[in-house]
Amino acid sequence: MTGLVHRGLAGQAVGMLREQILTGALPPGSRLDEVEIARDPGISRGPLREAIGQLVSEGLLIHVPNRGAVVFAARPEDVASLFELRSALECAAARMAALRRRPQEVTRLRKVCERSRKARETGRKLPYDLDLDFHRSLMEAAHSPRDAEHAWLVQQQVIVPRSGLTSRTTHTETSLADHEAMTEAVADGDADLAVSLMKAHLAMMEIQLLQNMHAAQSEDVRGQAPGPRSTERTVP
């Protein structure tokens, strides 16, 4: 019984930390203060260490000598490599989804697009969870669990550098239109179109992310504030 509770607490800690990382509450390059985090009544050191180990294995955290666990901070070359891998995985998934999709999976893709459209109409940026939900739904329609597992890890790692950027132009409207077009290509069983749309979609995301990263670096230099904006953060 204790083991089950322990795993449950570790799972809660994983979810909390992942949310903080993907939303930018823990920005890229920030260090986790384990002592401070463990003061939360719902988290103890054992489950917290398990959670950190899990997120290190997912690539969201890295261990740095003399600093401990630090949020993954992508360099431009890291972003290029991540998108190269993501394109290979998700273009293959787009093709398989168009060939293997079931009616309920097309319905789910359309519902995710509808929720995203409603969020857009209220003036919100496309939330990372809806973006991930679309891509996860596409992977499910492809019926390739191994590809889905690898894609999930890469998708998260791409979100981390995006979460650390503020006041940037977003690809929200274009991304949403891409998602809707891909959904209909999958629904129609048009594998070639689904692949073409996914490839262009990810290429656009990569270009925009790199442009925004370079713009942020330039602003840091002009503001005489080079390097990470924060060296240590704790989870609220």
> Directed axis angle between helix 172-187 and helix 103-121, to 10°?
160
What pLDDT does residue 196 have? 98
Work out the number of other CB atoms within 10 angstroms of the CB of residue 61: 25
**143 neighbors 105 (Cβ within 8 angstroms):** no
What pLDDT does residue 129 have? 84
**Long-range contacts of 206-210, Cβ-Cβ distance < 8 Å, separation of 24 or more:** 206/79, 206/80, 206/83, 208/169, 208/171, 209/79, 209/158, 209/161, 209/162, 210/76, 210/79, 210/80
Tokens of 141: 């329609």
- The model's pTM is 0.82
Question: How would you write the pLDDT of the chain (236 residues) with one tens digit per residue?
Answer: 334 344 687 888 899 899 999 988 899 999 998 888 877 766 778 888 999 999 999 999 999 988 899 999 999 999 999 999 999 999 999 999 999 999 999 999 999 999 998 887 886 665 678 889 999 999 999 999 999 999 999 999 999 988 867 544 455 778 899 999 999 999 999 999 999 999 999 999 999 899 988 888 777 667 654 444 443 433 33
